[in-house]
Amino acid sequence: MKLSSTLSIYLGKQFLKNVAIIFSIIISIVFIADFIEFLRQTSDKEDLSIFVPFQLALLRLPTLAQILFPFIALFGGMLTFFRLSRTNELTVIRSAGVSAWLFLMPSLAIAFFLGVFMLTVINPIAAAMQSYSAQLETKYFEQRSNLLVLTSNNLWLRQVDDNGLFVIHARGAINQGIELTDVIIFQYDRNENFTGRIEADTARLMEGYWDLKRVLMTSPEQPGTVLENLQLSTSLTAAQIQESFAPPKEISFWELPEFISTLEEAGFSALNHRIYWHSLIARPVLLLAMVLVAATFSLRATRRGKTGILVMAGITTGFVFYFFTDIILALGLAGNLPVLLAAWTPSIAITLLGLSMMFHLEDG
């Protein structure tokens, strides 16, 4: 039997309403917790108003919403099907000859399109807000960091330490940024006054210093000096250079492919960004799978009783999936799994789990 458009709209509205309820509850809790944490961090800064932690918590909210939305879809789906069962609406729908596969279709379709909307619209907004939040945290909490900017033909590295400020420009990088080519280093004192310029063919990062080859040193007071080798002290490490790139969550889904291409052309690893990009693409499938899992636990409860146990089983499944995802991504980032496998395995695994449970429930 076909599912009528009127019934489809009704079921879709019920799912959207319950997802909105769960979303409001979870996001409110997360916002309050984040706000309290920022209040604690700014408690010793008397010159900051309460608006600052409020603003920081608000800016982080879209990014956290993206992370939590699979759980929101799971709990929203469970709430929807439990409510429809308690009012005997599912019993009436089934008695009319409509299978579970059919009355799940509106919820599954909405979950999928919510995932697409989050990916294409919410993600760029969240990335911009997260990036601005990181800038504010650096400003208000006085975090001094080495900032790296990468374009298609140039690499700029800002190194700040006790000796002053060094702005390093290079045309390229080799071996994950350990060695830079066609290097120009602009030197500034602690007051950011220009003190000199160093040009070198290559700069290799060693432990505690840059090893420069074929060097030309100039300064406002002295003529140019040519050296074959020069060691310039630094507190930077290769890991810090990699971490100086904008984190994936601060880059829009639409901008990530170009950023990944630029990163790899410059000689750096884009593994983290590539896995993140593919995991974003897999997100709509993941939301659909979460609704399938929610349905299997909710429909089992209506048939067998023991609602509380099955609710806890559904929630436990969600958290097991969360830790499973973390393990798979960690293996991917370590290079032990291919990018596609690391990014898509969680979504495919939970989809297969949901499908198998539904087949067993309906046809087993």
Residue 313 has pLDDT above 90, yes or no: no
Residue range 44-100, pLDDT digits in tens: 777 777 888 899 999 999 999 999 999 999 999 988 988 888 888 887 887 777 777
126 is in which domain, residue-wise? 5-141+272-363
* pLDDT at res. 228: 86
Does a structural domain hold residue 293?
yes
- Pick the more confident residue, 61 or 145: 61
Q: Are residues 94 and 53 in the same domain?
A: yes
- Tell me, yes or no, whether 213 lies in a domain: yes
Per-residue confidence band for 117, with pLDDT thresholds at 50, 70 and 90: very high
Residues 87 and 137 in one domain: yes
Q: Are residues 34 and 56 in the same domain?
A: yes
Q: Say what the pTM is.
A: 0.77
Tell me the pLDDT band of 287, cut-offs 50, 70 and 90: very high
Question: What is the number of structural domains in the chain?
Answer: 2
156 and 88 part of one domain: no
Based on the fold, state whether residues 133 and 276 are members of the same structural domain: yes
Question: Which of 243, 258, 291 is a domain's end point?
Answer: 243
Q: What is the pLDDT of residues 2-22, one digit of tens each?
A: 777 888 889 999 999 999 999
Give the domain-ending residue among 243, 258, 282. Answer: 243
d(CA 47, CA 186): 34
Residues 236 and 307 in one domain: no
Asked if residue 264 belongs to a domain, the reply is: no
219-267 pLDDT per residue, tens: 877 777 888 888 888 877 776 676 666 778 888 899 888 888 877 776 6
pLDDT class of 116 with cuts at 50, 70, 90: very high
Domain-embedded: residue 261 = no
Question: Residues 256-280: what's their mean pLDDT?
Answer: 82
Q: With cut-offs at 50, 70 and 90, classify the pLDDT of residue 142.
A: low
pLDDT of the residue at 33: 92
In a domain, residue 259? The reply is: no
Among residues 204, 228, 243, which one ends one of the domains?
Answer: 243
The reply to whether 99 falls in a domain is yes
